[in-house]
């Protein structure tokens, strides 16, 4: 028999090669977790994404665990308590919209300044972002706390839900400043490339929250039994702890952003520039997240069991989506810093690589959710009616996971470049002009009931991925100046 051509000969791996690769991988993981001064505008793109993505994924992984554990404990209090959480969080979506919108502007501006090798202007941008966040959060908190019962009524909550959850809603809306600041300051860390700092602050907040949840909900040990209100108190204490750690870190100068006394004066001109970048981001997220309010309003007409099933199903979806935001945030940081370093082609390649990684992850999770939908939902409720609707929600939304993966990375790439207007227009079309009308037609006019709304969610997010991908390829985001 003739010998195989040289090109096809497979040489045995050198002794210790596998161990060496494992050692290199473990070194990269340790570097990412510990924090690194890596220059993300130079060197291998894949390694840069991994160094950013590991702490970013872990940062939001515990956030996803918290979302599921919260509804796990609250689910033991009955459908009214779960419905309270679902309705309140649909209203808090507007607070998250402001927080994430401001975070987009802060992260994009800080990343651009770091890419330009200008840490002083990066620190100044961070201070202006925090000041702007506080100014926005205070009036929202006052109005939300005073109007909480009326807001629940306006959302279609039954009298039993209002009686159960009015205090929960009052606390969550009234203390929104800690929620806003936690995410805003973490965006500053991520924009600077200090992903491990963001991870540690959110982990602290969530660990405190997780520890206090059962204690305050059920009155374990010396803690009072507060029911669903206890979940709100635990959340506020946990988030507040995270914010205190963030402020301490910024003042101590442990990362790339160091805030000294010289940076503390408010700069109206800088705040206006930041607001212009953030304004479209706020509207962008508000359009997307407020669409959940529209969906809740449609679903609430089918009763508390449907709303509870939807809340449980979406919480499990969030469990998967949150880590994917870590990967897409890594793409955003790469875009911002590399545009600052005048390397737009490197920025574009980073987004495609991050999207591919994200797609592999979310597709695997989606397959698992489709195969094991009923056992997963059964972990959170024993009510057969609630379980039925939760199964439908989780299954139908999971079908779109491969599309969501790329859509998230494309959207965050626009935001990382400071082009928040493009995703805003995409969200307006995909959610308010497409998802909500489609959900109403499918559920009401075509008689599909709650299942119609679940199908509409999948169609809308898949449409967003296709549209944003087409616009990303045009490349106009590379020309954005901030």
Query: What pLDDT is attached to residue 243?
Result: 94
Q: How far apart are CA 345 and CA 351, in angstroms?
A: 10
Query: What pLDDT is attached to residue 439?
Result: 93
Query: What pLDDT is attached to residue 325?
Result: 81
Mean pLDDT, the chain, integer:
85
- Average pLDDT, integer, range 66-92: 81
Q: Whose CA is closest to 346, among 413, 281, 293? A: 413
Query: What pLDDT is attached to residue 124?
Result: 87
Check if the beta carbon of residue 361 is closer than 8 Å to that of residue 323: yes
- Average pLDDT, integer, range 195-199: 88
Check if the beta carbon of residue 84 is closer than 8 Å to that of residue 165: yes
Does the pLDDT value for residue 352 go beyond 90? Answer: yes
pLDDT higher at 74 or 71: 74
Does the pLDDT value for residue 2 go beyond 50? Answer: no
Contacts for 71 with CB less than 8 Å, ≥ 6 apart: 82, 85, 311, 312, 315, 380
Band of the pLDDT at 14, cuts 50, 70, 90? low
Phi-psi region of 158 (alpha: psi -120 to 50; beta: other; left: phi over 0): beta
Question: The tokens of 390 are what?
Answer: 């939760």
- Average pLDDT, integer, range 445-449: 88
Band of the pLDDT at 21, cuts 50, 70, 90? low
Check if the beta carbon of residue 263 is closer than 8 Å to that of residue 131: no
Q: Where are the domains of the chain?
A: 42-476
Does the pLDDT value for residue 433 go beyond 80? Answer: yes
For a pLDDT cut of 90, what percent of the chain falls above it? 35
Query: What pLDDT is attached to residue 181?
Result: 93
pLDDT higher at 98 or 360: 360
Does the pLDDT value for residue 120 go beyond 60? Answer: yes
Does the pLDDT value for residue 25 go beyond 70? Answer: no
- Average pLDDT, integer, range 340-363: 93
Query: What pLDDT is attached to residue 293?
Result: 78
Query: What pLDDT is attached to residue 19?
Result: 63
Length of the chain: 482
Counting beta carbons within 10 angstroms of the beta carbon of residue 133, is it exposed (0 to 12), middle (13 to 18) or buried (19 or more)?
A: buried
Does the pLDDT value for residue 356 go beyond 70? Answer: yes
pLDDT higher at 272 or 238: 238
Does the pLDDT value for residue 335 go beyond 80? Answer: yes
Does the pLDDT value for residue 8 go beyond 60? Answer: no
Q: Whose CA is closest to 389, among 465, 450, 462? A: 450
pLDDT higher at 32 or 462: 462
pLDDT higher at 420 or 16: 420
- Average pLDDT, integer, range 260-265: 80
Query: What pLDDT is attached to residue 17?
Result: 60
Does the pLDDT value for residue 24 go beyond 70? Answer: no
Q: What is the pLDDT of residues 26-59, one digit of tens each?
A: 777 777 777 667 778 888 888 888 888 888 888 7
Band of the pLDDT at 10, cuts 50, 70, 90? very low
- Average pLDDT, integer, range 454-460: 93
Query: What pLDDT is attached to residue 9?
Result: 45
DSSP 13: P
Query: What pLDDT is attached to residue 442?
Result: 94
Query: What pLDDT is attached to residue 36?
Result: 67
CA distances from 324 to 12, 290, 355, 358, 411 (A): 37, 21, 9, 6, 13
């Amino acid at each position: 028999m003739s010998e195989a051509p040289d090109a096809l000969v497979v040489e045995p791996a050198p002794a210790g090669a596998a161990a060496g690769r494992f050692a290199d991988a473990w070194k990269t993981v340790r570097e990412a977790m510990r924090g690194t001064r890596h220059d993300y505008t130079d060197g291998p793109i894949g390694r840069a994404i991994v160094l950013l993505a590991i702490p970013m994924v872990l940062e939001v992984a515990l956030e996803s665990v918290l979302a599921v554990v919260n509804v796990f404990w609250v689910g033991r209090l009955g459908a009214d308590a779960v419905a309270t959480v679902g309705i309140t969080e649909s209203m808090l979506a507007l607070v998250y919209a402001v927080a994430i919108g401001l975070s987009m502007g802060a992260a994009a501006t800080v990343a651009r300044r770091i890419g330009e090798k200008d840490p002083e202007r990066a620190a100044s941008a961070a201070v202006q972002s925090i000041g702007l966040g506080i100014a926005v959060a205070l009036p929202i908190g006052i109005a939300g706390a005073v109007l909480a019962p009326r807001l629940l009524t306006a959302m279609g909550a039954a009298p039993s839900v209002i009686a159960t959850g009015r205090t929960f809603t009052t606390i969550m809306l009234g203390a929104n400043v800690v929620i806003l600041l936690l995410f805003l300051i973490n965006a500053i860390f991520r924009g600077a490339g200090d992903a491990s700092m963001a991870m540690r602050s959110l982990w602290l907040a969530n660990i405190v929250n997780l520890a206090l949840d059962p204690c305050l909900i059920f009155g374990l040990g010396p803690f009072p039994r507060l029911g669903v209100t206890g979940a709100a108190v635990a959340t506020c204490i946990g988030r507040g702890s995270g914010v205190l750690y963030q402020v301490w870190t910024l003042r101590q100068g442990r990362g790339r952003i160091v805030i000294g006394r010289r940076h503390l004066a408010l700069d109206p001109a800088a705040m206006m520039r930041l607001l212009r970048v953030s304004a479209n981001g706020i509207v962008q997220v508000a359009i997307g997240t407020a669409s959940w309010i529209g969906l809740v309003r449609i679903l609430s007409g089918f009763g508390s069991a449907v709303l509870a099933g939807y809340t449980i199903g979406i919480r499990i979806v969030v469990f998967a989506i949150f880590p994917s935001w870590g990967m897409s945030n890594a793409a955003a940081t790469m875009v911002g810093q590399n545009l600052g370093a005048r390397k737009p082609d490197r920025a574009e390649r980073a987004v495609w690589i991050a999207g591919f990684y994200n797609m592999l992850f979310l597709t695997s999770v989606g397959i698992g959710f489709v195969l094991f939908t009923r056992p997963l939902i059964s972990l959170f409720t024993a009510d057969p009616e609630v379980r039925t609707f939760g199964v439908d929600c989780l299954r139908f939304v999971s079908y779109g996971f491969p599309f969501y993966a790329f859509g998230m990375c494309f959207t965050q790439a626009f935001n990382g470049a400071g082009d928040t207007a493009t995703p805003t227009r995409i969200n307006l079309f995909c959610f308010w002009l497409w998802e909500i009308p489609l959900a109403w037609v499918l559920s009401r006019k075509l008689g599909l009931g709650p299942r119609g709304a679940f199908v509409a969610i999948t169609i809308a997010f898949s449409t967003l991925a296709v549209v944003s991908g087409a616009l990303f390829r045009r490349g106009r985001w590379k020309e954005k100046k901030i």
